């Protein structure tokens, strides 16, 4: 498989509030817009200028793609995990232990096995050329884990910061800066 470049959307208002977003949207902050522009500069600095780009259809991801200078095609398989009853709630009101999201499915939400299946379907597409994927925190972690061969029990130890670009090639991940 050719290189896969992964970008998480820029910081949003709900990220600042520590709210669970799931498939609901909140706008990018000033910092989030700057992060998106920086991601575009990182790609250009590394000569990544002609890749196809796919993005979650959610507004925060599509805006990140646009601000990064990418013409991305919306792909619903890249949408954030559905958080059901947790969407819009403060993380502190939900979590009682670290990694809760990786251990329990949100009531009325999408299960991690469903997420894994849709992302495996995405990765099974004929990706003959390098691709840029613009997505979300949980989805970025699962994608990176699948591409690098990390087992599910390690997902809760992975981070997916905003404003950076991950590249995975031949199962090896690098952070571009």
The structure tokens listed for 173 are: 């991940």
Catalytic one of 80, 87, 136, 166: 80
9 belongs to an annotated ligand binding site? yes
Q: Is 173 a catalytic residue?
A: no
Instruction: Give the helix, strand, coil percentages of the chain, each rounded to 5.
Output: 40, 20, 40
In the set 9, 87, 110, 136, the catalytic residue is 9
Spatial distance between the Cα atoms of 57 and 150, rounded to a whole number of angstroms: 26
19 among the known binding-site residues? no
> Would the annotation count 15 as a binding residue?
yes
Q: Say whether 8 counts as a known binding-site residue.
A: yes
Number of other residues whose CB lies within 10 A of the CB of residue 46: 14
Q: Which helix (H) or strand (E) holds 129?
A: none
118 is in an annotated binding site: no
Judge whether 80 counts as a catalytic residue: yes
89 labeled binding residue = no
Annotated binding residues: 8-15, 60
Annotated binding residues for substrate: 8-15, 60
Catalytic annotation, residues: 9, 80
């Amino acid at each position: 498989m050719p290189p896969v470049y992964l970008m998480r959307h820029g910081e949003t208002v709900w990220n600042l509030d520590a709210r669970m977003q799931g498939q609901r949207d909140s706008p990018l902050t000033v910092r989030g817009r700057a992060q998106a522009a920086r991601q575009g500069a990182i790609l250009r600095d590394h000569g990544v200028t002609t890749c196809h780009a796919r993005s979650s259809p959610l507004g925060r991801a599509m805006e990140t793609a646009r601000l990064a200078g990418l013409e991305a095609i919306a792909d619903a398989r890249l949408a954030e995990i559905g958080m059901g009853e947790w969407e819009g709630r403060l993380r502190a009101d939900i979590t009682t232990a670290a990694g809760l999201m990786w251990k329990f499915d949100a009531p009325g939400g999408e299960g991690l096995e469903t997420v894994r299946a849709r992302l495996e379907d995405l990765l099974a597409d004929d990706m003959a050329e390098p691709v840029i994927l613009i997505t979300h925190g949980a989805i970025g972690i699962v994608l990176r884990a699948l591409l690098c061969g990390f087992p599910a029990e390690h997902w809760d130890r992975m981070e997916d910061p905003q404003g950076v670009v991950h590249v995975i090639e031949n199962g090896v991940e690098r952070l571009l800066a």
